[in-house]
Chain A
Amino acid sequence: MKDDNLNLIQGTLDILVLTALAGGPRHGYAVARWIRETTDDALQVDEGALYTALHRLEKRKWLGSDWGLSENNRRAKYYSITVTGRKHLDASSRSWSRYAEAVFKVLGAPGGEVTS
């Protein structure tokens, strides 16, 4: 089971977080839950790492934050993507797609099959 989990590199986590927030402001729990549900729990990422990414991106001004009330009326910190963050998301998702395409091409090429 564990071996199937993807090893996440930092940049990937950033993109995931930015994508999670692309649709609108969310608090940290909602981001975690969104990632869990969207990936069917395939990415077993520490939620602590997720929060680290949120705070780091906020410091980098890719995210902004505000305090507000949650759905069940509790004080929660809402993150939202900034213009800079969105620009960065666009740029990196483009390069990600290119990278993934290239990897798929390699994997699909003759003689590229790996046997273990």
Chain B
Amino acid sequence: MKAFPGLRQFFRLGAFRADPKEDLDAELDFHFGETQREFLESGMSPAEAREEALRRFGDLSSYRRKLAAIDRKQATRTRRKERFSNLRQDLGYALRGMRRNPGFTLGVVLTLALGIGANATMFGVVDRILLTPPAHVEAPDEVVRLQVHRMSPFTGQPGIMAYQTFSDYRDFLEAGSFEAVAAFGDQDVILGRGEEAERIRAQYSTASIFPLLGVRPALGRFFDEEEAEPGAPGVVVLGHGLWQRRYGGSRDVLGKVLAIGDGTFTVIGVTPPRFNGVDLAPVDLFLPVHAFTVFLGDDRWVENRGFYWLQAIGRLGPHSSPVAAAEEVTALHLNGRRELIDGGRYSEDARIVLGSVKAALGPDAPDEVRVSRWLVGVTVIVLLIACANVANLLLARGARRQRELGIRVAMGISRRRLVGQLLLESILLAGLGGAVGLALGYGGGHLMRSTFLPQVAWFGSPISTRVLLFTLVLAGSTGLLAGIAPALKGSHGRIVQSLRDGGRGGTTRRSRSQTFLLLTQAALSVILLAGAGLFVRSLARAHSLDLGIEPEGLVVAELELDGEWEPEAVLDLSRRAAERLETLPGVQGASFASGIPFRGMMAFDVWAQGMDSLPVARGLGPFFTTVSPDHLETLGIELRAGRMFTAPEAATGARVTLVTENMAQGTWGGEAALGQCLLIQDREGPCWEVVGIVENSNLTRLTGETPWQHYLPLGAPALELGAGPRALFIRTRGDASSLLAPVRRELQSLDSRIRFAYVRLQQDLVDPELRSWKLGATMFSLFGILALVVASVGLYSVLAFNVTRRVRELGVRSAVGASRGHLVGMVLREATGVLGLGVLLGLILATSAASNLGPLLFETSPRDPMVLASVSLLLLLVGLVASAIPAWTASRVDPMTALRTE
């Protein structure tokens, strides 16, 4: 009978898999052979026998097909089962390996978790601000922003302006390339009266914006063209967030009449959740554009071609090309401004550019958003470093496991399966890293949202489905990336050789891939640390910047007043308010002025008597502020020359002025300014005598030249210029924030016509200016230090591993007379070689990438030699510390023990 049943089965599992088709042919051949033989023996002719055999079988080709189909299915099933059981085996094997080596596992998982966590955090941010179009916008690719490319009227620099005038918008309406055009502008307004009043963000928009975007109301309806006309009865659409928060999400809110600013508005609808128009900042409610007249008190903005406050968007028609559309609106824009251009007051070179509907890609994206874009690159680098490090650890471990792997190869495991096994291990490690990284990403996401990007409207958990998916894919590919080289190397044929020489690899030199990975890590670390250094330096410079004022301990209060007020009445009210506030415990002094530092400044046309025109200031300005007595004292601005305002000047007003040092220097060449004459608004008008020179103060923004300033005493002459008090300033002793509530209470109770007192810390107005550097400094430092730690751990482990591997060689050297110093030197030389090269590489990369970073830094060159030098030094130092232990071990090698390990 049959010989060795099951033998083939045994082989099939291992060496080769038979082709089911061949098997079937053989089986049928045998069948027909036997059947024909039987019939031949019973006396049939060969032809008859053949025919009978076929007849008995039935339709041969149909049966053959059926049989083949069954066999194929069976083969697939067997293969799948086999694979599954292999996977289970490999998984168990990998898990056992991880448990056996907890230190290694922990190191790898943590390294990957940090890398993946950083990326999960930044992906969450980038997904919101860059990848996801504004919520509820249909076909967002067709929606574009119409932006003006020209000299900015604010900074005098060429650039792209997001803001336009209402007249510009009306010109765009003519453009046939667009299905629809809309305009909107944001403004903080006061909602409600008295105790209930709060300051919220309103968006004034044309009625066309809702159909243009394709958004549908969650409740009620949006306003239509008629309701957006001037003089139409006031209507308002509530944002979903405000509706939930202030009105409890009640449907009864429809028809309710709300007091907003100076007007009353009937609620006609509610937006769907997360709708903010097309910008990133949260919007509380939506008003028709002409309601802006109610806010301003007059409708000059409608015709004024200098009133830039609206952003225009359009939806491209189905057949219009963006280029042609841009040309069309440019022509319309220039046509509308023909008069200005002819008068030399507008540039003919102005062009309209079509910008993305995504606000973060636009010209007015905040610096924090720009820094965030850089941070994405940073987190990718962190992940690459983590990958390189893990790959290195795996390589080192693979080398240590050579013997084990060799045995497995000898036992007949296929190379493919071995590679799969090793990859599975690294993917498993990356999976664990991903899980921990997700937790880190959750925390990191919260931090980014609340601390660094609070001006963006955020929704939902930092770990969204998309972030989850991203992290999953990232973890998987990280595992592959980190594991592929070690796995290929580990499964290499040289294993058998390693078995032969006892797995000591006594003469093997450090592998090229390990050196390459170390180099990469060092170089990337330098880049990150350089970035960190630059941002930290920027932040430090910005912090140490002498603003000229002392924002700390300063409280700012703005009053919103009901009804019509004469300028004198406002001045009187301000005086009463300041007096009242000075009686509050903890208040050192109170004053008032026409300008709030870091909330925008005003400028008059000014001339110096005896000169054709004022020299052009390199910064902006000159800005002016009308001030109450003691206001400069309250802010902390010091006198440099001449005198401050006298008590009578300050009390009743006089035509005297104080100028800043830079203005005095730039206009009159310094102290010669004293006694000079400044002409304000009217070139033929009365003289404002310069009586004193005060220190420069940076009251607009931190970057750029410090603008020129001059101060006028608040009184009749100043009021004539139309510059009454705008805010109260309270200098406090101790904790200023504890005075916010008392100050507000005191002011609200002062006069029944005070609708709302908006009380803030001056520091809160300065801080946003610092935020982008804070973000850069914090995150770059965090990631830079992370990279440093990871890279030094990598260096340490590789060096330590090499020393162990070279124990025999070191022993021999020591036996033939090499001194300890020599052995230590050998290891250190190896370390410095790799480090030095890595640092050099990193410096080259960092300096070539630097120029792009420049605009985001503060008074710091992106190639700051101090930063680059100290970063290089730091890396070398840490690297040497990391190699100290392996070097010490090397010097301790006892020749006898080393040779005995033979």
Which residues of A come within 8 Å of B, CB atoms? Answer: 25, 27-29, 32-33, 46-49, 51-52, 55-56, 58-59, 66-71, 74-78
User: Is B5's CB under 8 angstroms from A49's CB?
Assistant: no
Minimal Cβ-Cβ distance residue in A for B60: A48
User: Is A69's CB under 8 angstroms from B2's CB?
Assistant: yes
A4 to chain B, nearest CB (A): 18
User: Is B33's CB under 8 angstroms from A47's CB?
Assistant: no
Q: Which B residues are CB-close (under 8 A) to A25?
A: 2, 5
User: Is B9's CB under 8 angstroms from A48's CB?
Assistant: no
- Interface 0/1 of B39-83, CB less than 8 Å to A: 000000000000000001111101100110011011001000000
Which residues of B come within 8 Å of A, CB atoms? Answer: 1-6, 8-9, 23, 26-28, 30-31, 33-35, 38, 56-60, 62-63, 66-67, 70-71, 73-74, 77
Given A56-B70, A75-B26, do A46 and B56 touch, yes or no (CB 8 Å)?
Answer: yes
- CA of A74 to CA of B33, assembled, Å: 10
A97 to chain B, nearest CB (A): 29
Q: Which B residues are CB-close (under 8 A) to A46?
A: 56-59, 63
- CA of A56 to CA of B66, assembled, Å: 10
B738 to chain A, nearest CB (A): 80
Q: Which A residues are CB-close (under 8 A) to B31?
A: 27-29, 32, 47, 51
Main secondary structure of the interface of B (DSSP, over half): helix
User: Is B58's CB under 8 angstroms from A48's CB?
Assistant: yes
User: Is B70's CB under 8 angstroms from A52's CB?
Assistant: yes
Q: Which A residues are CB-close (under 8 A) to B34?
A: 29, 70
B762 to chain A, nearest CB (A): 82
Minimal Cβ-Cβ distance residue in B for A77: B27
- CA of A25 to CA of B3, assembled, Å: 13
- CA of A59 to CA of B31, assembled, Å: 20
Q: Which B residues are CB-close (under 8 A) to A28?
A: 27, 30-31
B693 to chain A, nearest CB (A): 101
B577 to chain A, nearest CB (A): 93
Minimal Cβ-Cβ distance residue in A for B20: A55
Q: Which B residues are CB-close (under 8 A) to A58?
A: 74
Q: Would you list 19 pairs from A and B whose C-beta atoms are within 8 A, ordered by A residue? A: A25-B2, A29-B30, A32-B35, A46-B63, A47-B56, A47-B57, A49-B63, A51-B31, A52-B63, A55-B67, A59-B74, A66-B5, A67-B8, A68-B5, A74-B33, A75-B26, A75-B30, A77-B26, A78-B2
Minimal Cβ-Cβ distance residue in A for B4: A68
- CA of A20 to CA of B63, assembled, Å: 21
User: Is B67's CB under 8 angstroms from A68's CB?
Assistant: no
- CA of A48 to CA of B74, assembled, Å: 19
User: Is A77's CB under 8 angstroms from B57's CB?
Assistant: no
A21 to chain B, nearest CB (A): 14
Minimal Cβ-Cβ distance residue in A for B31: A29
Most chain B beta-carbon contacts within 10 A, residue among A52, A59, A67, A74: A67
Q: Which A residues are CB-close (under 8 A) to B73?
A: 59
- CA of A58 to CA of B74, assembled, Å: 9
A23 to chain B, nearest CB (A): 13
User: Is B60's CB under 8 angstroms from A78's CB?
Assistant: no
- CA of A25 to CA of B31, assembled, Å: 16
Given A46-B57, A56-B70, A70-B30, do A51 and B63 touch, yes or no (CB 8 Å)?
Answer: yes
A36 to chain B, nearest CB (A): 9
Most chain B beta-carbon contacts within 10 A, residue among A25, A59, A69, A75: A59
Given A77-B26, A77-B27, do A68 and B3 touch, yes or no (CB 8 Å)?
Answer: yes
- CA of A66 to CA of B5, assembled, Å: 6
Q: Which B residues are CB-close (under 8 A) to A70?
A: 2, 30, 34
- CA of A49 to CA of B58, assembled, Å: 8
User: Is A66's CB under 8 angstroms from B8's CB?
Assistant: yes
Given A55-B70, A66-B6, A77-B23, do A33 and B63 touch, yes or no (CB 8 Å)?
Answer: no
- CA of A45 to CA of B331, assembled, Å: 89
User: Is A52's CB under 8 angstroms from B66's CB?
Assistant: yes
Most chain B beta-carbon contacts within 10 A, residue among A33, A51, A59: A51
Q: Which A residues are CB-close (under 8 A) to B35?
A: 29, 32, 47
Given A66-B2, A68-B2, A68-B5, do A77 and B67 touch, yes or no (CB 8 Å)?
Answer: no
B33 to chain A, nearest CB (A): 7
Minimal Cβ-Cβ distance residue in A for B59: A48
- CA of A71 to CA of B30, assembled, Å: 12
- CA of A59 to CA of B74, assembled, Å: 6
A84 to chain B, nearest CB (A): 15
User: Is B5's CB under 8 angstroms from A78's CB?
Assistant: yes
Given A52-B67, A59-B73, A68-B2, do A77 and B30 touch, yes or no (CB 8 Å)?
Answer: yes
Minimal Cβ-Cβ distance residue in A for B64: A48
Name the contact of B1 in the complex, choosing from A29, A56, A68, A77 (C-beta under 8 A).
A68
Given A66-B9, A69-B2, do A33 and B38 touch, yes or no (CB 8 Å)?
Answer: yes
Name the contact of A69 in the complex, choosing from B1, B33, B60 (C-beta under 8 A).
B1
- CA of A62 to CA of B380, assembled, Å: 56
Minimal Cβ-Cβ distance residue in A for B35: A29
Minimal Cβ-Cβ distance residue in B for A48: B63
Most chain A beta-carbon contacts within 10 A, residue among B30, B31, B57: B31
User: Is B30's CB under 8 angstroms from A51's CB?
Assistant: no
Q: A32-B31, A47-B58, A68-B4 are in contact. List 20 more A-B contacts (CB 8 A).
A: A27-B30, A46-B56, A47-B56, A47-B57, A48-B57, A48-B60, A48-B62, A49-B63, A55-B67, A59-B70, A66-B6, A66-B8, A67-B23, A68-B1, A68-B2, A74-B30, A75-B30, A76-B2, A77-B23, A77-B27
- CA of A74 to CA of B32, assembled, Å: 12
Top 4 closest pairs, chain A to chain B, by CB: A68-B2, A46-B58, A48-B63, A48-B58
Minimal Cβ-Cβ distance residue in B for A73: B3
B326 to chain A, nearest CB (A): 67
Q: Which B residues are CB-close (under 8 A) to A52?
A: 63, 66-67, 70
Q: Which A residues are CB-close (under 8 A) to B8?
A: 66-67
Minimal Cβ-Cβ distance residue in B for A24: B1
User: Is B30's CB under 8 angstroms from A69's CB?
Assistant: no
B824 to chain A, nearest CB (A): 67
Q: Which B residues are CB-close (under 8 A) to A56?
A: 70
B8 to chain A, nearest CB (A): 5
B41 to chain A, nearest CB (A): 12
- CA of A77 to CA of B71, assembled, Å: 14
Q: Which A residues are CB-close (under 8 A) to B33?
A: 74
- CA of A68 to CA of B27, assembled, Å: 11
Q: Which B residues are CB-close (under 8 A) to A66?
A: 2, 5-6, 8-9
Name the contact of A76 in the complex, choosing from B30, B67, B70, B74 (C-beta under 8 A).
B30
Q: Which B residues are CB-close (under 8 A) to A29?
A: 30-31, 34-35
Q: Which A residues are CB-close (under 8 A) to B66?
A: 48, 52
- CA of A75 to CA of B66, assembled, Å: 23
Q: Which A residues are CB-close (under 8 A) to B23?
A: 67, 77
- CA of A25 to CA of B5, assembled, Å: 11
Minimal Cβ-Cβ distance residue in B for A59: B74
